[in-house]
Structure formats: structure tokens, C-alpha cells
Structure 1
Amino acid sequence: MRESEPGPGRVVLAATPIGNLGDASRRLVELLAEADVIAAEDTRRLHRLVQGLGVQPAGRVLSYHEHNEAAKTPELLEEVRAGRTVLLVTDAGMPSVSDPGYRLVEAAVAEGLTVTAVPGPSAVLTALALSGLPTDRFCFDGFLPRKAGERAGRLSELSGERRTMVFFEAPHRLPAMLRALADGFGPGRRVAVCRELTKTYEEVLRGTAGEIAAWAEGHEVRGEIAVVVEGAPEAEPASAEDLVAEVNALVNGGARLKDAVAAVADDAGASKRELYAAVLAAR
């Protein structure tokens, strides 16, 4: 069925270019021209987008951003109930990913209304792919808190995360963020700062947290930024000597040998029988 043919109402989340207009999909162009309603994070940016793509929207355009989501969501749901197509676009990338959209999707799904998507550019996936860091397992954590104490607390929670992590950051906060990364994860953790992706001055800086933090201190960084961070290394398994020492420490503290062996073996994922034998052999 063509997009212009009548059908049931639906919400369409459409990914928009993150920099290069050439990345706009044909489906995005068709929907911008034909949707009954276009809900845009910034109507001025939408105007520039459709001008650049040579599109003349036929539907109604309204503003839909973080400050009016709660008020506008019922209005958009009513349009969908009436059988209309509501196209949701944000300034760049996929709606609802660190951008407005989640509230509308949640409400539409709760009512059993149709929600679909037009996939396309993603700053998260583009930065991950270009980072040179492992891509088999990753997580996205959006923007870190602005306040130093809260930021340090969040990084402390993530210090043991083994998946590659992707963050967004504002240019003027990048030096402080990178310093916090170096402090929280260690200066040797690998980092990639991805700036102005798909744009004329695209730049990817790769190095350790300490190196990239030092670089950021001496440069005025501009543009949209994604920071990709290596996951925590696998913990080194404890040696047999270490496990025996742990058992002896517990025994010296008053624990029974059998209980101490069981506790240490459980924590280390080791064989109780083999550890018990090692403790006896060391005596």
C-alpha cells in the first residue's frame, strides 16, 4: 500500500539525517510530503530540512518537544484514533532515543494503536562503528549528569560495565566529562570522541581517557558529540595461593575451615574440594 492511500491511523517515528542531507531515505521524503500531521521537535529545523530535500508538506505541522510532550500527546493520539498518520521527527536521528517520542509511543502502545518506524541515521550506531572499540555488545547511556558529584556517582555505577558504552555530550562540558571518565575508569581506558558525524568537518579522536582529556583541555571543541568508551576489562581470576590466603584469613578470624572454604569457593567460582585440598596441602 502506498503511503498516500487511506488506512488505519498510525504513529510513524522517522529518523532524520544527523548531518548530511544525502542520508535522508526515500520513505522519509514521501512521509514528509504526505503525512496528515508532522510533529517536529523544532519546526524551524523541520523547515530547513524540507527545504533542503525539496519537499512541500501537505499535512499540519506542530511543535512537539520535551517541554510540551505531556500537553500535546493527547492531541496526537486523537489524530491517530481518527485514522490519520502522525509523523514524528526530531532535530536529528531517531525519535525517542535521547529525544522526544517515548511518551507518545508509550501512550499509543497502551491503547493498541499502530506504531511503526522509518529507520535511518543514528549518531549512536555511527559513533560505535567508527570508534574502533568492540561492537558485539554495547549500551547507550545518553548524557551524563551535569553536576560533578552526580556525574561521578553515575560513572561509579558504570565502572564495572563490560560492554562498550556510548554517551552524548555538549561541547562546553566535554573536558569535564573526559576528566571524570579518566578519574572514574582510569586514565588508560580507551575512548573515542566522535564529532560532527557525517558533516563536512567530521572528526574521530581515539586514544586513552587520559590522552583525550588532555587534548580536550587545550582545544575549543564544537559541534554534536558522541563519546564511545571501552568496557571494563575481564577480572583476572584469583590464583590458588590467593584463595588459600582468603580461607586462612577467615579461619584466623574465627570461621570454621569448612565454612571458610565454601564461602571463598562460592565467591570465586572454584571447586570446594580442590580448594579444601589446597588449604590442607599448604599447612
Structure 2
Amino acid sequence: MESAQEYWAARAALEWQVELGADEALSEGPVNRFELVEKVKAKPASAKVEAAPHVQSGYVEAPKIDAVAEARTAAEQAQDLGQLRAALDRFEHCELKRGARNLVFADGAAGARVMILGEAPDREGDREGKPFVGQSAALLGKMLGAIGLSLEESVYVSTVMPWRLLNQSGPSPDEIAMMRPFVARHVALAKPDILILMGNIACDAALGQRGITRLRGTWGEAFGLPVMPMFPPETLMRQPELKRAAWADLLEIKARLA
């Protein structure tokens, strides 16, 4: 324990230092200020934070589907008409399907010597699920009857487009292209002797050509069969003067079947 003399001696020494101008307390040992500066300089920098890699956001385009290739695969796998109809019903790449009530596949007698390929069902055909109905069917029946054929018993009928068209401009080239494999397989499974192409869409699908006025009346070949382009019943109802040409085409068909 410090004595009173030591206390007053220490206090007197402190007061003397204050009188000399000392204004801060010093440690008992010497301090090297230059060494402190070096330590500050040598202090490691804070760890660098790396920015996260930039990930581009937004819409990612789905892979494009080759609808024609999908149609070809589906059609080739069908071993009979029932399987082909089911494959066509499952086909989801044609926008026309979304606006249709029914799939129009075929009508008449499967296995007949004559197959008629029409263009597309109209509103009434879409409702009933048949290629030709109403006045069109009645006129077609009379035309065939004139050469000894029956629409119900001796002719097999289908259309290129199994769904009704949404506008008067007709199906697009892409829509016809994706239906072509189904048409080819349909003809192969039906096995007719001759094929009647009624209208430009049918000629496009089978022959790759349009211009029914120029093509009609002349035998061609498609799918390994003789084909006869003709005006469809709807055209004949709008332009009765073309019935003479249609009659000439029917006589050609009758002669080929003889």
C-alpha cells in the first residue's frame, strides 16, 4: 500500500508535468510509430465478392415441331383404316382441328374400285361428320348413278382436309403438306383401282398442282394409281354450265372401269 509521502510525491510530479505542457498520458514503454504504420499498410484487404453470373431471363422458345414428319410417322404406323382414323384423330398440329366439331374421315364402301378425294367438309358436313352431305351429296349421287355407280355401295369417299375450313381462302400450303401423308396412307389402305380428284385442294395434295379447269378431263397418276381431276359438286351448283365437262369426265371413268 502506498504511503502518504509517495502519493504526494507522485501528485507533485504530475502537476509539474502539466505545467510543462504535457496534455496526454504516455505508456510505460516506448512505442515505435513507424512500425504501426507498416502494420496498417500490411492489413489484408477484405475478400473480394464475385458477382453472380448473369442469367438471361425472359421467354425461352420451345423447340419447333416438324408437323409433316410427325404426320408421316403417324400415318405409316397405321395398319388399317381404323388405325389411320385414330392416328388422324390424335394429330394435334393442325389449327383447323380446334375449330371443327367432328373429324370427317370417310364415307361409302371401303374397298370399292373407285375412291373420290374431295377438298374439305363444309359446315353441314362438319356437323354430320361426312365428306358430302345435303345438296352436294344429292348431286354427286346423281352423277355417279348416271354411269352405274352408287355413292353408298360402290364408291369410297374421303377429303384431303378432315376438318372444315375456317375461311374461304382454303387451307394453307403447310396444312395441305401435313395432311398429304395421311391421304397417301388412306389411298394405300383403301386400295381403289382409280382415284377421282374433286377440286384444286385434292389436285394439290395428290399431284402437287392446281388449276382444275386445266387439269380436268385428263388422266394423271398419283399414289401409283390413275387419277381423274373433276369439278366438285359445289362448283357445278354455282356454275351449271360446267356440267357438260363433268359428264365427259364421268364417261372417261366409266370407260376405264369397263
Same fold (TM over 0.5): no
**Normalized per residue, which structure has more strand?**
1
Interval containing the TM-score (normalised by the shorter chain): under 0.3
TM-score normalised per structure 2: 0.25
Mark the structure with the bigger radius of gyration.
2
